[in-house]
Amino acid sequence: MTEPVEIVRRGYDRIAEEYLRSRRADDPDIRLVWDLSEQITPGGRVLDAGCGAGWPISALLAERFVVSGIDLTTAQLRLATTNVPDAGFAAADLRALPFIDATFAAIVSTYALIHVPREDHATVLAEMRRILQPAGLLLVTMGASDLQDDVDDDYLGTGVAMYWSHYGREANLRLVESAGLEIVREELSSKTRASAAARTCLSWRAAPKRISDYSATITGISTTLIGEPSFAEYSSTTTVAGPGGRSNGTEMSNVPRVPVPDVAIAA
């Protein structure tokens, strides 16, 4: 099989425009972004990790915060710089984030980690914790079912291949906590790969230790792969992070880097 990172990079490069048209500002995950944004001081630094074309999430966040976005794909980043001119965008891999420790008040990463091989999810979460400020917040989409590797050769009906990999809920909760992140809210939702509109939500709260009046969120989805229509299961979690570790960020090669204004980048 082609390396997963290349499947994802090539896929989203080829369907950048189509994927942008499929995004909606009223998707349930946007509500979670707004819930998160209410807990962040205006003007704070926020990272959209897996920003795609920058709309709607980077664009919405940029109305209130200093926004940086990272993505694998050149085509997506070019669209993002046009769609959100006030934000800064760079090519990067979630497994090696190119920022120094404690840079961001919050990180939003929807439907990105599920495209990374699941054996690397602990590395990604550790990197996110590292670049979060103390008591920073993370909203991240993870898996709600166990799926080691899946490739769809006709993603969104475009004829383009796409890759997914994730653990189920219990394993994900352990991963998040092992990364030194405190889960303050999780939410399960259903979504077909072809339509962002078909989604149901179930949410519950866990009392946070550091922010007594805040519940953050996890999103979920479910997957059947053989003999039935594609149906993905994901979950997203908002967490509170402790202090970060040492910087080891790098850039993706062969993709032009767009400078991130006034944000310290790791060497």
DSSP secondary structure of 195-253: BSS---EEEEE---SS-TT----------B-SSS--BEEEEEEEEEE---------PPT
Provide the residue range defining the domain that includes 136: 4-241
Is 175 within 8 Å of 113 (Cβ atoms)? no
Confidence of residue 183 (pLDDT cuts 50, 70, 90): confident
Tell me which H or E stretch contains 255: none
* Domain membership flag for residue 104: yes
Model confidence at 205: pLDDT above 60:
no
* Domain membership flag for residue 107: yes
* Domain membership flag for residue 138: yes
* Domain membership flag for residue 265: no
* Domain membership flag for residue 115: yes
* Domain membership flag for residue 266: no
* Domain membership flag for residue 26: yes
Model confidence at 246: pLDDT above 70:
no
Domains identified in the chain, total number: 1
Of 145 and 109, more confident: 109
Of 219 and 235, more confident: 235
Of 184 and 196, more confident: 184
Q: Residue 11: give its domain's CATH number.
A: 3.40.50.150
* Domain membership flag for residue 263: no
Largest separation between any pair of C-alpha atoms in the chain: 50
pTM score, two decimals?
0.77
